Amino acid sequence: ENKFFWRSAIAQNIMDDIHIGAFQSKDDNTWKWIDDNKSVSDYFNFVGVFPIPGGGNCTAMLTESSTAQWINEDCDNQKLPFICRRYGYSTLPSECPHEAPIEGKDIIAPGFPVPSIPCEYTILVEANNLVKLEILALEANPNVDFLEIYEGAVGKNLLANLTGTNPNPDSYMTKSSNVMRVNWKP
């Protein structure tokens, strides 16, 4: 969920941190989730010495790094955008698609947010046209997970081999073929 919050912030170009739905209870000083009042102890991502006593009873996520660590602060004095909860991932794919991707539709790695299933996507456009792939954001474990982009239906004409985190949109285009292969290799 932490990565989901971070990706959501980056996708909206929020680079100056966000408040997340965790707070310090005045009753017992524990850190809890605002939507269900459960302890954050099952997932605790505070930076080093944080939470700092007296530093505030709200939690902010630092969005400038993909580690998306937290600090505590006074949310009355520090106005930031916020995220409190997310919907489940039940509608996301759990296996590789059997059909070609549709123009304008997102391609999401099967098993997201823990995408551990390798997939190959073939993108085909009409003859005498080129394929353009736009990547809005990429989050992959650096030097572990890779997104390979090839020109053509066969062969090793590699256009890009991407890994790590890139929150900025980027695009790739074939040079002479109307076919592009995109391989997700976790």
In the 8-state DSSP scheme, what is residue 39? B
* Strands 18-24, 82-83: pairing kind: parallel
**Domains of the chain, first to last:** 2-83 (3.10.100.10), 90-186 (2.60.120.290)
pLDDT at 117: 86
Its pTM stands at 0.57
- Can you tell me whether residue 23 is helix, strand or coil? strand
Q: Is the pLDDT of residue 156 over 80?
A: yes
Q: Is the pLDDT of residue 85 over 80?
A: no
pLDDT digits (tens, 9 = 90+) for 96-134: 888 888 877 777 777 776 667 899 999 999 999 999 999
pLDDT at 10: 75
In the 8-state DSSP scheme, what is residue 40? G
Beta bridge partners of 53: none
